[in-house]
Structures are given as C-alpha cells and as structure tokens.
Amino acid sequence: MTSKLSKKSIGSTVLMGLATITLSLGIYAPDAKATQSEPVAHLKEVERINHKLDQLTDKANAELKKGIDKVVVQEPINVQGDKLELSMNVEDISTKAVQQKKYKAKVTNTTPVFGFAHEVSGKFTYEKGKLVSNSYDAYLTGTFYSKSHKTKQHKLDPSVWEIRSRGTFKALKYTPVEHSSRVDVGLYGSGDYRVLKAKIN
C-alpha cells in the first residue's frame, strides 16, 4: 500500500482532466556481503539506467506532444528480463467553465526485496494561456528503507510552473545502502505537462 507523505493544495479541486505517468525499472542493490568493487559497478549501472530513462522520457514526451493519449515505451536492461518502462495515459474532460488536468509521475526501482518508488502527483487548472492553481502530493514507498523527501513548487512565470521533488531512501538493516531519487514535472498554461527529470542514484 502506498503511504501519503505530504500534500500541498492551491485553489480548485474540481477534476476536469487526467494524466498518468509511470516509470518502472530494475537496478542493482548490493547485499550484506558486498565487496569493495561492487559500489563501482553499482554506480556504472545507475548511470546506464538513467541514460536509458532519459531516452524513454524524451520518446514518451514526444508522443504526448503529438496528442496521443496512451503512450507506452520500454527498454530491456539485462538478460534477466528487467526493463525500463514509461507509460502515459491522458483523458481530457474539460468543460467550457473549467480547464483542469490531473498528473502523476512515478519512478520505481523494481529490484526484488530492495525495491522502492517515488511518486509525484497532483492537478492543475489553466485559463487563457496561464496557470491558475495547482495541488500536488509526494509519496515514497519501500519496505526496507527509511524515507524522506523535499518537494516544492516553482512558479517560473504565469504560464510555466515546475514541481521539483527529491527523495532519499536509507536501508534500515542488512546493508548500508542509500539511494536518492528525483522527479520533476513541468506544467504549462497551454494545458500541457511534461516529465522534466526522472532519476535514481
């Protein structure tokens, strides 16, 4: 079950649109008998995965920009079958009175036992090329980790807002593993949204 860690709300809560983004990936997690060379291998694996994740994000955002309402892109990362997957679902049910969309971006490490996830979600209203209001939540999950995050909204100008979220996962026992995550979402007065960054380190 996903636990809610924080919520900030601004303005309207009327749902007039839907946008969902999910990022899933498997990465290496060292065990209690990790050797000195394994952290180096881990860093290289994370770098490779985040590079693939950047490519998937670009592909999915390009499809979304074309007006496609259901996008699924994926990339295998090893012979065991682990993969990176980015899916987007958009349902625009705006009325003449209110223009509003709901969004969700989630990055997940699907490694068995040591998996974790970082999600940012919310909804925003827009009108005449400008953003009117936005609400957002951040959720972190992972059985074997203590979790914390910092999530803030940045209003760059009346038509461009960004939600920037940073997460930290510290293993509770067995191994001194610590991961950090990043999920940034861009909201636009045109009614568009994009995943700007999705990272795991």
Q: Around Cβ 174, how many Cβ atoms within 10 Å?
A: 12
Q: Which of 152, 161, 148, 164 is nearest to 199 (CA)?
A: 164
| pLDDT score of 108 more than 80 | no
CA-CA distances (angstroms) from residue 126 to 60, 132, 157?
23, 5, 13
pLDDT, the chain, mean: 74
Positive or negative, the Cα torsion across 108, 39, 113, 85?
A: positive
Domain ranges of the chain: 14-200
Q: Are 120 and 165 in contact (CB under 8 A)?
A: yes
First to last CA, the chain: 24
Report the SS3 class of residue 13: coil
User: What local confidence, expressed as pLDDT, does residue 64 receive?
Assistant: 73
pTM above 0.85, yes or no: no
AA letter at 96? K
Q: Which of 187, 180, 184 is nearest to 195 (CA)?
A: 184
Residues 131 and 158: their CA atoms lie apart, in Å, by 6
Confidence of residue 7 (pLDDT cuts 50, 70, 90): very low
